[in-house]
């Protein structure tokens, strides 16, 4: 998969003059982010910050004395 994404990035750079190989948010699992940026002129933004903004987290958690968070893992 990594070899394929690197190859795709090289073709995008060559044909569209857009370098997604170093694009923040288009690395690791960034096939969708990089492709959207290259082909749809999408902007890349933080998924975490977007969820915090949509959920109005700062308002909800403003008076909290304790916040408990967890992080999952889907890979090995």
**Domain assignments of the chain as residue spans, ordered by start:** 2-60
| Amino acid 67: pLDDT | 87
Sequence-ordered list of residues with C-beta below 8 angstroms from that of 75, at least 6 positions apart, any chain: none
Burial 43-67 (b: 16+ CB within 10 A, else e): eeeeeeeeeeeeeeeeeeeeeeeee
| Amino acid 59: pLDDT | 95
Q: Which of 31, 52, 33, 50 is nearest to 42 (CA)?
A: 33
pLDDT in tens, 18-74: 988 888 766 655 578 888 889 999 888 888 888 899 999 999 999 999 988 877 666
């Amino acid at each position: 998969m990594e070899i394929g994404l690197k190859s795709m990035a090289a073709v995008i750079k060559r044909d569209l003059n857009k370098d997604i190989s170093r694009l923040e948010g288009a690395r690791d699992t960034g096939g969708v982010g990089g492709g959207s940026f290259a082909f749809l002129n999408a902007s890349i933004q933080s998924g975490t910050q977007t969820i915090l903004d949509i959920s109005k987290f700062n308002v909800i958690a403003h008076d909290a004395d304790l916040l408990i968070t967890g992080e999952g893992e889907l890979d090995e």
